[in-house]
Structure 1
Amino acid sequence: MKADQHVVVIGNGIAGITLAQRLRARAKCRITVISAESATHFSRPALMYVYMGHLRQQDIIPYADWYWKEQNITLLHDHVEKIDTDKKELQLQKGQSISYDILVLAIGSSAVYYNWPGQQLKGVQALVTWQDLELMQQQTIGIKQATIVGGGLIGVEMAEMLQSKGIEVTMLVREPLYWRSNLPQQEAQLVTQHIQQCGINLLLQDELAEILGDTDGRVSAVKTKTGAELPCQFAGIATGVKPNISLSKNTAIETDKGILVNYLFQTSCKDIYAIGDCAQFREPAPGEPALEQLWYTGRQHGEALAAILCGGGTPYKRGPWFNSAKFFNIEYQTYGFVPRDWDEQHYSSLYWEHPGKTKAIRLFYNLRNSQLVGINLLGVRYRHDLCHHWLRSNYTIHHVMQELTAANFDAEFFQRYEPELLRQYYQQFPEQQAPAKQHAWWQLRHRFSLFSTTPDNC
């Protein structure tokens, strides 16, 4: 990439800012990052901790102003109103016009609303942006009751946030168990029970029909499809997100649900790329999603596109899927692919659950070749790089069980509970007569020097 080329990135979330940083490490080109949301990059997963009082707003801004000057990356806090793809020019709300040689759209996603009656009332909102956090701080002052509509990861975050302020929280979830749309039955049951034990009222197998308001235009209750009426002064919307594509309207940039790209992140317009939540792969690889709307994949998109723009990259290939979340006091990590349900003629798993129902491990594998397909962890943390290595290297469940000791940070936990997983393994594979060989961690570290000796918190 030439030094006189100008790369403009719209969006300063994890995808856009990672691209800018990796690009600067590789090239001397001009880099400008534009965001209407905030003047600088912030940690979006940490918004909840600002609301709860654990962090201040300045604590979730990882880079000081001097960092961007030192990196020679220009930050603009402005709204892009128009993209002129012929002139390769952007029109900004404050009146400025900016030309580009390469344009990258990293404009994220926004909350999904389903045209419910009353959704325009005060006190009804989602939690996606910095502005959403500020609005939620204002709208929940002095309230006593809140209802969260939806049972995903954002929903449980909002529930924990509100409960930290002493607010009574009800969650309206259409599935029979919390996040059953993503979790197998046993994990979903564990999570459901834990959320209830934390004092949240879960109203399962019901959906929002209408949001009721008072004479001041503020939410006073939500009404469900079964006829239940839930008094509340705040209604949190957590029914998913959709790619932001409005900026591409009235341009030649092709869209579907998201901005259509290939695995080089190229859009239908020359020198325009899209990454992160807003990007949709035009022809996803078999078994892969067209949309990758995770913090982790956003970072990977930014890293991959930086290499591509500098001429050293290959078409993007994500590698093993990974995501993490927190259900109140239970941490959750998933690696690879663990479906909510599966054909027992083709797949099986080893599943262990702590007697106190606060921890669980599932190792999911293919019956045909015994290859590990995915891992679910609840309340247990395994070594991140080792789990990825198992999946990238197509380990069988037999090989994984040989190295299981090395995956767990807590040696005492392994000694007390993981032998139960081994016993289950021998029940499924009685031909494996000899005890699984235990590899010491230092031996694995010597063999796979890429691994870290500290937890990967991502």
Structure 2
Amino acid sequence: MKYVIIGNGIASIGAIEGIRKVDTESPILVIGSEDAPAYGRPLISYLLAGKITPDRLSLRPLEFYEKSRVGLKLGTTVASIDTSAKSVTTDKGEVIGYENLLIATGGIPFTPPIPGADGPDVYNFTNLAHAQTLIAKAGEIKRAVVIGGGLIGLKAGESLFDRGVDVTILELSPRILSLAFDENAATLAGARLDEVGLNVRCGVSAKEIQRDKEGALKGVHLTDGDFLQCDVVVIAIGVVPNYTLAKDAGIAVDRGIQVDDHMRASADGVYAAGDVAQARDLLFGEDRVIPIWTNAYNQGFCAGKNMAGKDVPFTGSLSMNSISFYGLPTISVGTVNPPEGDKSYEIAASLDAKKKSYRKLVFHNDRLVGYVLVGDIEMAGMYTAFVKFQMAVPEEAKKQILAGAPDVLMWPDDFFKETWNPGVVEQD
């Protein structure tokens, strides 16, 4: 087999499209552990809330795989990789050779050692099977506890709440969204959740999940001594890179699978992309795992082109999050919480609590390196361009940006010459 891809998510879609930009004929095989074709994991919350139907989950129609001449082995797990023989062995005992291999195994839910977590009615919120089970049980669920106040936890809580469930979200940190946002943004988001009746408790977490003698779920003991009765528990603290397969094969790993600037791993003919890959950070130049959808696709697309013989460097991952809380839009991009006491960073923030509006801009070495917007996000695209393309921001331009009026005319002439030319079409 010319190309083998382990994993069937957004990074794999990117890799298929990257390969086919260069090589339109050679066979591609995708091996996925779930039975479903590639679907949008962030859309799981909308499915659970009843806002979309299952057919809206698919990233690409089945015709995409047919037209791209891609073979699918779904419901199949790769048990091992032999980098010397250039082959993979599945859980069904099948040995499949490869010339180029992409590991796009994503992340797996992080579950802390909470007594009582093993057993029925405790779920993660990162796969379709759990969402479908919760949908089937939704009519029976009266109370739910969600452990984790990050993006995944909040969307899980919102989805159950929209189905009429009494939900309490637990977050050990002093505020929700502690990684993606700052205190002001988190306060506005938390206030909006409180307005609609969704309970959020910060500074506390689960100490033990209580069960009866038959193992049935009764509730959750909290670290502050309180007890919450519930019918289900959702553990949504986060995900960690699923790199065990690569590590067992002798492929270099750190926080994720280590890759170079062409998404190549340490073994010949092996690449990695998506939430499992530790790739270049756009702003800092160091290698990090940044589990964001757009990064996963871009990494996969870059890996695919390189697997097919192109020489395409990866430009780097960028941290970004966008989420709406019952009509309150929020977005954060880049560095939003710089190191405390580092005077090389300049922060400009404006908060209007009555209008539920907040803007925070973070500058470093005369460049915009991050921002947070809550409420009014109209200028998000403009700010993102300044961050992504690392444009220099002279003093006059900074004044205009601080006034909330960034403009494309502020972009340097070289930017247009290097990145945008309507008269040129890329030749692949």
User: How is 1:345-356 mapped onto 2 (pairs within 5 angstroms)?
Assistant: 345-356=343-354
Given candidates 18, 38, 57, the residue that maps to 1:22 is 18
Given that residues 173 and 204 in structure 1 are in contact (C-alpha distance below 8 angstroms), is that contact kept between their aligned partners in structure 2?
Answer: yes
* Alignment pair present for 1:51 and 2:58: no
3-state SS of the aligned residue for 2:275? helix
Given that residues 273 and 296 in structure 2 are in contact (C-alpha distance below 8 angstroms), is that contact kept between their aligned partners in structure 1?
Answer: yes
Given that residues 39 and 76 in structure 1 are in contact (C-alpha distance below 8 angstroms), is that contact kept between their aligned partners in structure 2?
Answer: no
* Alignment pair present for 1:76 and 2:86: no
3-state SS of the aligned residue for 1:277? coil
CA deviations on 1:285-306 (whole Å, 9 max, x unpaired) are 9564521211121011112212
Q: What is aligned with 1:125?
A: 123
Offset at 1:235? 0.8
Cα distance in structure 2, aligned partners of 1:191 and 1:451: 40
3-state SS of the aligned residue for 1:187? helix
* Alignment pair present for 1:382 and 2:375: no
Given candidates 129, 142, 145, the residue that maps to 1:144 is 142
* Alignment pair present for 1:262 and 2:268: no
Residue 26 of structure 1 aligns with an amino acid whose one-letter code is V
Q: What is aligned with 1:6?
A: 2
* Alignment pair present for 1:253 and 2:243: no
CA deviations on 1:388-437 (whole Å, 9 max, x unpaired) are 332321224641553x5xxxxxxxxxxxxxxxx63xx9xxxxxxxxxx8x
Given that residues 220 and 232 in structure 1 are in contact (C-alpha distance below 8 angstroms), is that contact kept between their aligned partners in structure 2?
Answer: yes
User: How is 1:420-439 mapped onto 2 (pairs within 5 angstroms)?
Assistant: 422=403
Q: What is aligned with 1:190?
A: 188
Offset at 1:175? 1.7
Given that residues 260 and 280 in structure 1 are in contact (C-alpha distance below 8 angstroms), is that contact kept between their aligned partners in structure 2?
Answer: yes
TM-score (norm 2): 0.87
* Alignment pair present for 1:36 and 2:33: yes
After alignment, is 244-253 or 10-19 more displaced?
244-253
Given that residues 243 and 279 in structure 1 are in contact (C-alpha distance below 8 angstroms), is that contact kept between their aligned partners in structure 2?
Answer: yes
After alignment, is 316-325 or 227-236 more displaced?
316-325
CA deviations on 1:340-399 (whole Å, 9 max, x unpaired) are 664374333332334435332112224xx5432221111222355532332321224641
Q: What is aligned with 2:425?
A: none
3-state SS of the aligned residue for 1:177? coil
Q: What is aligned with 1:428?
A: none
Cα distance in structure 1, aligned partners of 2:117 and 2:341: 40
CA deviations on 1:163-218 (whole Å, 9 max, x unpaired) are 01111111111122222344222212212222222212222211211000134423
After alignment, is 127-136 or 323-332 more displaced?
323-332
User: How is 1:162-177 mapped onto 2 (pairs within 5 angstroms)?
Assistant: 162-177=160-175
Q: What is aligned with 1:372?
A: 368
Which has the higher relative contact order, 1 or 2, with Cα contacts under 8 A spaced 6 or more apart? Answer: 2
Q: What is aligned with 2:63?
A: 66
User: How is 1:103-252 mapped onto 2 (pairs within 5 angstroms)?
Assistant: 103-252=101-250
Report sequence identity in percent: 26
Ranges in structure 2 where 5+ consecutive residues have no aligned partner: 423-428
Question: 1:389–1:193: structure 2 CA closer, same or farther, 3 Å change rule?
Answer: same
Question: 1:230–1:87: structure 2 CA closer, same or farther, 3 Å change rule?
Answer: same
Question: 1:145–1:319: structure 2 CA closer, same or farther, 3 Å change rule?
Answer: closer
TM-score (norm 1): 0.82
Ranges in structure 1 where 5+ consecutive residues have no aligned partner: 405-420, 426-435, 453-458
3-state SS of the aligned residue for 1:169? strand
CA deviations on 1:83-111 (whole Å, 9 max, x unpaired) are 22222222223443321111110001111
Given that residues 183 and 340 in structure 1 are in contact (C-alpha distance below 8 angstroms), is that contact kept between their aligned partners in structure 2?
Answer: no
Question: 1:140–1:331: structure 2 CA closer, same or farther, 3 Å change rule?
Answer: same
Cα distance in structure 1, aligned partners of 2:58 and 2:318: 29
Q: Aligned-pair RMSD on alpha carbons? A: 3.0
Given that residues 213 and 220 in structure 1 are in contact (C-alpha distance below 8 angstroms), is that contact kept between their aligned partners in structure 2?
Answer: yes
Q: What is aligned with 1:277?
A: 275
Given that residues 336 and 372 in structure 2 are in contact (C-alpha distance below 8 angstroms), is that contact kept between their aligned partners in structure 1?
Answer: yes
Question: 1:19–1:359: structure 2 CA closer, same or farther, 3 Å change rule?
Answer: same
3-state SS of the aligned residue for 1:306? helix
Given that residues 184 and 340 in structure 1 are in contact (C-alpha distance below 8 angstroms), is that contact kept between their aligned partners in structure 2?
Answer: no
3-state SS of the aligned residue for 2:331? strand
Cα distance in structure 2, aligned partners of 1:221 and 1:396: 57
Cα distance in structure 2, aligned partners of 1:208 and 1:277: 27
After alignment, is 56-65 or 135-144 more displaced?
135-144
Offset at 1:223? 0.6
Residue 121 of structure 2 aligns with an amino acid whose one-letter code is G
User: How is 1:274-353 mapped onto 2 (pairs within 5 angstroms)?
Assistant: 274-281=272-279, 286=284, 288=286, 290-318=288-316, 320-339=318-337, 342-343=340-341, 345-353=343-351
CA deviations on 1:253-308 (whole Å, 9 max, x unpaired) are 23333223223222222111111111124999956452121112101111221232
Cα distance in structure 2, aligned partners of 1:120 and 1:245: 23
Question: 1:235–1:370: structure 2 CA closer, same or farther, 3 Å change rule?
Answer: same
Offset at 1:9? 0.5
Question: 1:302–1:70: structure 2 CA closer, same or farther, 3 Å change rule?
Answer: same
Residue 140 of structure 2 aligns with an amino acid whose one-letter code is G
Cα distance in structure 2, aligned partners of 1:56 and 1:285: 38
Cα distance in structure 2, aligned partners of 1:283 and 1:43: 24
Given that residues 296 and 323 in structure 1 are in contact (C-alpha distance below 8 angstroms), is that contact kept between their aligned partners in structure 2?
Answer: no
Cα distance in structure 2, aligned partners of 1:204 and 1:395: 38
Residue 189 of structure 2 aligns with an amino acid whose one-letter code is V
